[in-house]
Amino acid sequence: MDDIGEGGSPNRDGENRGGAGVLILAGTPMGRPDDASTRLREALATADIVAAEDTRRTKALAVSLGVEITGRIVSYYDQVEAARAPKLVAEIAAGARVLLVTDAGMPSVSDPGYRIVVACADEGLPITCLPGPSAVTTALALSAMPSERFAFDGFAPRKPGARHDWLSSLRTEQRTVVFFESPHRLAQTLADAAQVLGAERRAAVCRELTKTYEEVRRGGLGELAQWASDGVRGEITVVVAGAAAVDETATIDDLVAEAQTLADSGIRLKDACAEASAGTVFSKRDVYQAVLAARE
């Protein structure tokens, strides 16, 4: 079932068709099969080739929808995407209708799909999309965060250094930010976010969206980090509020003076630097190091 043949694709009568086919990207349910669209049901039943991130899950989805997949089913996951994309593009060029589905949500959104879309676009082949569920927009809608402008950052970096750098880049990001995280790294990522962005920065953790045990927790990053420290299960989408408008007029010398005044009043130096740097283009680390340098 996993072999992709060379040359043209047969139609329902077994004869090769002339002309280009089409790549169909389709959103699949994140939890409840009855979220599947009528167009997805039809595409599963009529596509010449169904390229699936997990063929077993796609077959199970079809069974739950009462749909018979009559075309070939091939696996199309991260590790084989680069090798499979050119073969599928050749099939489309020969006339095949290729349906691309992932385990849940929209293809290409932190899931396989980007390479074949680029390849089809480069070849001038037809591409269409059957709209459907997306964890990004679902979480954004449920978060109670501003959604007029937002940024999606995929999965949070795994390594501590890279994660710290990424979070630092969000200090002055005024758009709402959405990202994915694994349940076993969530607590640490939220704790790091609270440290870098501030414990009071508003956020929402959306767990098991559209499923039986769906849960949305809203609060400050510090509060959410504490909640997650007890352990969290399921698929996670995090939404973080954008930063307040940044004061670009403050100089490092101004902030050093402010931090020193706060420290002289009895506030711990690191906390004083964090307070002085809030709402500016400088990080608390920038201010802290400048204060130490000024004291030498």
pLDDT band at 5 (very low <50, low <70, confident <90, very high): very low
What is the distance, to the nearest Å, from the Cα of residue 68 to the centroid of all Cα atoms in its chain?
Answer: 31
Residue that the structure tokens 């009895």 belong to: 266
Beta bridge partners of 278: none
Question: Mean pLDDT across the stretch 157-168?
Answer: 96
Question: Mean pLDDT across the stretch 160-187?
Answer: 95
Backbone torsion region of residue 49, taken as left when φ is above 0, otherwise alpha when ψ lies between -120 and 50, otherwise beta: beta
Q: Which CATH number fits domain 22-133: 3.40.50.720, 3.40.50.2300, 1.10.3720.10, 3.40.1010.10?
A: 3.40.1010.10
Q: Is the pLDDT of residue 68 over 90?
A: yes
Q: Which of 184, 227, 188 is nearest to 205 (CA)?
A: 227
Predicted confidence at residue 19, as pLDDT, reads 63
What is the distance, to the nearest Å, from the Cα of residue 205 to the centroid of all Cα atoms in its chain?
Answer: 13
Beta bridge partners of 49: 72, 98
Distances from the Cα of 145 to the Cα of 155, 177, 192, 280, angstroms: 19, 10, 20, 22
- Which token pair is 220? 């400050």
Question: Mean pLDDT across the stretch 230-240?
Answer: 96
Whether 186 contacts 234, CB under 8 Å: no
Domain positions in the chain are: 22-133, 136-240, 252-295
Half-sphere exposure of 40 (CA within 13 A, CB side): 26
Half-sphere exposure of 223 (CA within 13 A, CB side): 10
Compute the Cα dihedral for 55, 59, 62, 67 and give only its sign: positive
Q: Is the pLDDT of residue 7 over 70?
A: no
Whether 211 contacts 31, CB under 8 Å: yes
Predicted confidence at residue 249, as pLDDT, reads 83
Question: Mean pLDDT across the stretch 39-52?
Answer: 97
Task: Assess whether the region 22-133 and the region 136-240 belong to the same CATH fold.
Answer: no
Predicted confidence at residue 146, as pLDDT, reads 93
Predicted confidence at residue 10, as pLDDT, reads 39
Predicted confidence at residue 3, as pLDDT, reads 52
Query: Residue 210 class from Cβ within 10 Å (0-12 exposed, 13-18 middle, 19+ buried)?
Result: middle
Q: Which of 16, 180, 22 is nearest to 100 (CA)?
A: 22
Q: Is the pLDDT of residue 134 over 70?
A: yes
Predicted confidence at residue 104, as pLDDT, reads 93
Q: Which amino acid is at 59?
A: K
Predicted confidence at residue 17, as pLDDT, reads 43
Q: Which amino acid is at 118?
A: V
When mean pLDDT is compared across 19-28, 117-126, 215-224, the lowest value belongs to 19-28
What is the distance, to the nearest Å, from the Cα of residue 89 to the centroid of all Cα atoms in its chain?
Answer: 26
The CATH architecture of the domain made up of 136-240 is 2-Layer Sandwich (3.30)
Q: Is the pLDDT of residue 248 over 80?
A: no
Question: Mean pLDDT across the stretch 88-98?
Answer: 97
pTM: 0.76
